[in-house]
């Protein structure tokens, strides 16, 4: 790395002309410390200022380039001192308003001057105006200053560092490097690792994206498909991949407990189940058992569609930990799910003499103290809980395994917190992470490069596909009829009311209204209500009643979205389905079709239907395959939203786009492997360039 220090691009930004310590401090807020950082602060979009718009055709709210003559220029003292210029091009006029201006500017912007301006057009009571436009004077037929007419890059800016400044800086940085060294910025990638030999080299690519030439295609650049962008995207994806793998290598250098005992107990458990593991479950359990036997921490993600039977696999792992004299913790994202898990685990573990405890935010007082004691002295083998497991007074005797259910609901940092809690004698607990958000394989390998991934790609036998119908809300009466018929045939029904603007209170009220109406419409049926504002006891009792078929219809908010398991329920009605995302609809629908009965799902919607909502409903009707739905979701929304950068540990990408550039991923994988094997110096340099100094990553 010592040689790197000599690289001109690694010098401080203050080496650039005009950058003093005050500006350097502001740049630091953008993560810019070195000349290299300036160059990798990439534009996130481009503006086409080559096309001017006749002033008469302007509309408020658009960003536009205009050209015209100053007809009137005056300094006004209304409220604040300001310079007002009226500019006209024969089709109309508008006002330019400057609150900050120098004397020189005031002289320049005098009557008769021809200007080309750019900015956001606003509407005022005195007509249209642009506040602080970017402008330049046009003298004769010539454009007076700077870059000429090309696509203008737009950077993410910050207080005190505006677009023009950032543009100056990048020009400056590009120029400085050219002057300083023969090969300009150091290109770390050996040519043979690049999947496309036609790509421009690094310096050319950077120049192109920062200063697109006059003939650049705005279409290609906007879509991110220009070879210069692809070249940079490849390097960025590679850096991301390297950083996640480095994170994983770090973790695997830690110690953990090698868990090898427990054969008898596991067999006893498997015999007690009313079914056999599916082949997929057995295979995934095999992976996990192998991991747990290693003297370093397991870090495994189990992906499995809704209803594929992830809980049993988690139970097997937990039993193994306890059989080896250690403890296991299961973390669930909602109280409802934690309670359901606890009920299952207690039932399963009792014959095995393993003590199971439930810890949620609702526990307090003496009961909580007892619970803490059990965890601390080790009599409790398995604890199931919500976020409450992170509370500072939760202490484990010897936690060897942390299981995180429905991982998409947690951030990467939360799961690492649980890891820290289990640290003991220099050993870290194994981690098993479970998710029902299936994503395509190449994407998974990229987004979860810090994890090993197993997939339960098979549903337990005897499941019949859920038939899905989409109906406008006007058909509600016929749906109520259908609910009635189903219940008369001893089936049970979920009636789901949507979440309203993230307000638990309003959602609860909506559910209460529906509950009241359905109770009237279905007088001979037993209707129950479940929502997030009820306390844990009420929720639990309601769920129990429904599970034991002491009720026919459960009116609920989306609290039942994750994990809830009542096999006899075979009809689901979802109101305002047009408001929900695909993943959520799929999760909800996964609550039915768990028994042997034929199941159905009614998606009620209200007009107007947006285009995307229409497509979502169509996809739901077409398929029930979680992987297919995730793939379509990816197309509709892009991976950023599907995965959430929080959840994957993927830092924000600058040029790359996981979806658009997914064809690069195999080459990225390959390159990463090769570099990790033989070129640690290149790995370090790329991480420094793209990821920074551990600001975005770290073990927490
Ligand atoms: P998910 O993967 O969505 O968490 P669950 O673990 O809740 O799924 O399992 C869904 C249902 O399938 C449960 O009722 C569970 O008992 C049942 N189940 C799990 N594995 C099997 C199997 N191998 N054969 C039959 N039923 C199974
Ligand atoms: Mg589950």
**Six token digits for residue 676:** 């990790």
67 close to ligand 1 (CB < 6 Angstrom): no
CATH number for 50-145: choose from 3.30.43.10, 3.80.30.20, 2.40.50.140, 2.40.110.10. 2.40.50.140
Q: State the ligand closest to the CA atom of 343.
A: 1
52 in Cβ contact with 117 (< 8 Å): no
Residues 6+ apart with CB under 8 A from 107: none
From its phi and psi, is residue 461 left (phi > 0), alpha (psi between -120 and 50) or beta? beta
| The predicted structure's pLDDT at residue 652 | 66
Atom of ligand 1 lying closest to residue 344 CA: 16
Task: Tell the residue nearest (CA) to atom 5 of ligand 1.
Answer: 309
pLDDT in tens, 444-456: 777 777 788 899 9
Question: String of b and e for 496-516 (b: at least 16 CB within 10 Å)?
Answer: bbbbbeeeeeebbebbeebbe
Q: For the chain, where do the domains classified as CATH 3.40.50.300 start and end?
A: 263-456, 466-623
Residue 340 CB-half CA count within 13 A: 23
For residue 57, the 8-state DSSP code is G
| The predicted structure's pLDDT at residue 181 | 58
| The predicted structure's pLDDT at residue 79 | 84
| The predicted structure's pLDDT at residue 695 | 41
Give the global pTM.
0.71
280 close to ligand 1 (CB < 6 Angstrom): no
Looking at residues 93-100, what average pLDDT do you find?
Answer: 93
Task: Tell the residue nearest (CA) to atom 17 of ligand 1.
Answer: 309
Residues 6+ apart with CB under 8 A from 678: none
Looking at residues 197-204, what average pLDDT do you find?
Answer: 93
563 in Cβ contact with 557 (< 8 Å): no
pLDDT in tens, 396-434: 999 999 999 876 656 556 666 777 777 888 899 999 999
pLDDT in tens, 621-640: 999 888 888 878 877 766 55
Distance in Å, CA 271 to ligand 1 centroid? 16
626 close to ligand 1 (CB < 6 Angstrom): no
Atom of ligand 1 lying closest to residue 590 CA: 3
What is the C-alpha to C-alpha distance for residues 511 and 508, in angstroms, rounded to an integer?
A: 5
Atom of ligand 1 lying closest to residue 311 CA: 6
Report the candidate in 81, 397, 36, 449 with the shortest Cα–Cα distance to residue 250.
449
294 in Cβ contact with 256 (< 8 Å): yes
Q: Which residue has the tokens 């090309």?
A: 150
565 close to ligand 1 (CB < 6 Angstrom): yes
8 close to ligand 1 (CB < 6 Angstrom): no
Q: Is the peptide bond before 608 cis (omega within 30 degrees of 0)?
A: yes
310 close to ligand 1 (CB < 6 Angstrom): yes
Residue 249: pLDDT band with limits 50, 70, 90? confident
Kindly give the residue spans of alpha helices, DSSP state H, lying in 136-226: 163-180, 202-210, 218-223
Sign of CA dihedral 182, 187, 188, 190: negative
Atom of ligand 1 lying closest to residue 276 CA: 23
Atom of ligand 1 lying closest to residue 306 CA: 3
Instruction: Please give the angle made by the CA atoms of 42, 45 and 48, to the nearest 5 degrees.
Output: 125
Q: For the chain, where do the domains classified as CATH 2.40.50.140 start and end?
A: 50-145
With the CA atoms of 591, 592, 594 and 599 taken in that order, what torsion angle do they form, in degrees rounded to the nearest 10?
A: -170
Task: Tell the residue nearest (CA) to atom 1 of ligand 1.
Answer: 307
**Six token digits for residue 391:** 């509370």
Q: State the ligand closest to the CA atom of 306.
A: 1
Query: Which carries the bigger pLDDT value, residue 636 or residue 12?
Result: 12
| The predicted structure's pLDDT at residue 646 | 40
Give bridge partners of residue 607 from the DSSP assignment: none
- CA-atom Rg of the chain in angstroms: 31
Say whether domain 263-456 belongs to CATH 3.30.499.10: no
Distance in Å, CA 459 to ligand 1 centroid? 8
Atom of ligand 1 lying closest to residue 308 CA: 2
Pair type for strands 142-143 and 151-154: unpaired
Q: Within 10 Å of residue 179's Cβ, how many Cβ atoms? A: 9
Residue 328: pLDDT band with limits 50, 70, 90? very high
| The predicted structure's pLDDT at residue 649 | 46
Distance of CA 238 to the CA centre of its chain: 19
Q: Strands, DSSP E only, in 159-310? A: 299-304
Q: Strands, DSSP E only, in 41-161? A: 45-48, 63-76, 82-88, 93-98, 114-124, 127-131, 134-139, 142-143, 151-154
What is the C-alpha to C-alpha distance for residues 459 and 410, in angstroms, rounded to an integer?
A: 25
Average pLDDT of the chain to the nearest whole number = 87
Number of DSSP helices (H) and strands (E) in the chain, helices first: 25, 22
pLDDT in tens, 585-607: 998 998 898 887 889 999 999 99
397 close to ligand 1 (CB < 6 Angstrom): no
431 close to ligand 1 (CB < 6 Angstrom): no
Say whether domain 466-623 belongs to CATH 3.40.50.300: yes
153 close to ligand 1 (CB < 6 Angstrom): no
Distance in Å, CA 310 to ligand 1 centroid? 7
pLDDT in tens, 458-512: 989 887 789 999 999 999 999 999 999 999 999 999 999 987 666 777 778 888 9
Return the minimum-mean-pLDDT range out of 42-56, 94-108, 187-201, 288-302.
Answer: 42-56
Residues 6+ apart with CB under 8 A from 482: 571, 602
DSSP string, 535-546: -HHHHHHHHHHH
């Amino acid at each position: 790395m010592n040689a790197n220090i000599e690289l001109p691009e690694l010098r401080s930004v203050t080496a650039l002309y005009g950058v003093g310590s005050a500006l350097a401090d502001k740049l630091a807020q953008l993560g810019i410390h070195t000349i290299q950082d300036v160059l990798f602060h990439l534009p996130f979009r481009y503006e086409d200022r080559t096309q001017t718009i006749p002033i008469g055709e302007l509309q408020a709210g658009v960003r536009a380039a205009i050209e015209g003559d100053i007809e009137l220029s005056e300094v006004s003292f209304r409220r604040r001192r300001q310079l007002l210029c009226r500019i006209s091009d024969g089709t109309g006029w508008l006002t330019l308003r400057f609150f900050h201006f120098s004397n020189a500017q005031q002289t320049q912007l005098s009557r008769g001057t021809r200007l080309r301006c750019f900015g956001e057009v606003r509407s005022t009571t005195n007509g249209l105006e642009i506040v602080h436009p970017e402008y330049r004077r046009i003298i004769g037929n010539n454009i007076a200053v700077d870059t000429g007419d090309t696509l203008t890059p737009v950077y993410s800016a910050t207080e005190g560092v505006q677009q023009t400044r950032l543009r100056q800086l990048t020009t400056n940085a590009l120029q400085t490097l050219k002057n300083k060294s023969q090969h300009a910025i150091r290109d770390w990638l050996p040519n043979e690792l690049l999947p496309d030999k036609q790509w421009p080299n690094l310096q050319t690519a950077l120049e192109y994206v920062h200063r697109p030439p006059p003939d650049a295609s705005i279409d290609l650049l906007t879509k991110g498909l220009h070879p210069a962008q692809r070249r940079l995207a490849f390097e960025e994806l590679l850096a991301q991949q390297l950083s996640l793998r480095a994170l994983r290598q770090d973790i695997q250098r830690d110690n953990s407990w090698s868990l090898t005992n427990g054969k008898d107990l596991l067999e006893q458990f498997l015999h007690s189940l009313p079914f056999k593991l599916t082949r997929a479950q057995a295979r995934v359990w095999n992976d996990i058992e192998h991991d747990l036997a290693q003297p370093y921490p397991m870090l495994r993600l189990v992906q499995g569609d809704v209803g594929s039977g992830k809980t049993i696999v988690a139970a097997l792992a937990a039993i193994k930990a306890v059989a080896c004299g250690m403890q296991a913790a299961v973390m669930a994202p909602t109280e409802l799910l934690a309670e359901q898990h606890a009920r299952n685990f207690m039932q399963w573990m009792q014959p095995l003499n393993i003590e199971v405890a439930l810890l949620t935010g609702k526990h307090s007082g003496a009961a909580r103290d007892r619970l803490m004691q059990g965890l601390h002295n080790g009599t409790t083998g398995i604890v199931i809980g919500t976020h409450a497991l992170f509370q500072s007074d939760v202490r484990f005797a010897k936690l060897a395994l942390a299981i995180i259910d429905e991982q998409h609901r947690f951030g990467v940092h939360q799961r690492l917190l649980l890891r820290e809690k289990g640290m003991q004698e220099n050993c870290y607990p194994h981690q098993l992470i479970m998710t029902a958000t299936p994503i395509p394989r190449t994407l998974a390998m990229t987004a979860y490069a810090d994890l090993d991934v197993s997939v339960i790609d098979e549903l337990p036998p005897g499941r019949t596909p859920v038939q899905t119908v989409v109906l406008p809300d006007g058909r509600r009466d016929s749906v109520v009829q259908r609910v009635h018929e189903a219940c008369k045939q001893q089936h049970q029904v979920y009636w789901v009311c949507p979440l309203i603007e993230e307000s638990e209170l309003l959602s609860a009220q909506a559910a209460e209204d529906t509950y009241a109406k359905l109770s009237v419409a279905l007088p001979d049926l037993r209707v129950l209500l479940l929502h997030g504002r009820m306390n844990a006891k009420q929720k639990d009792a309601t769920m129990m009643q429904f599970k034991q078929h002491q009720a026919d219809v459960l009116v609920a908010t989306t609290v039942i979205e994750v994990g809830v398991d009542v096999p006899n329920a075979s009809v689901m009605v979802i109101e305002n389905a047009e408001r929900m995302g695909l993943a959520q609809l799929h999760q909800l629908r996964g609550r039915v079709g768990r028994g042997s009965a034929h199941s159905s799902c009614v998606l009620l919607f209200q007009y107007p239907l947006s285009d995307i909502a229409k497509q979502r409903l169509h996809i739901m009707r077409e398929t029930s395959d979680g992987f297919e739905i995730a793939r379509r979701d990816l197309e509709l929304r892009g991976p950023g939203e599907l995965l959430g950068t929080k959840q994957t540990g993927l830092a924000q990408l600058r040029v790359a786009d996981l979806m658009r550039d997914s064809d690069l991923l195999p080459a990225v994988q390959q390159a990463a492997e090769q570099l990790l094997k033989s070129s640690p110096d290149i790995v370090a340099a790329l991480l420094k360039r793209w990821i920074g100094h551990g600001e975005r990553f770290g073990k927490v």
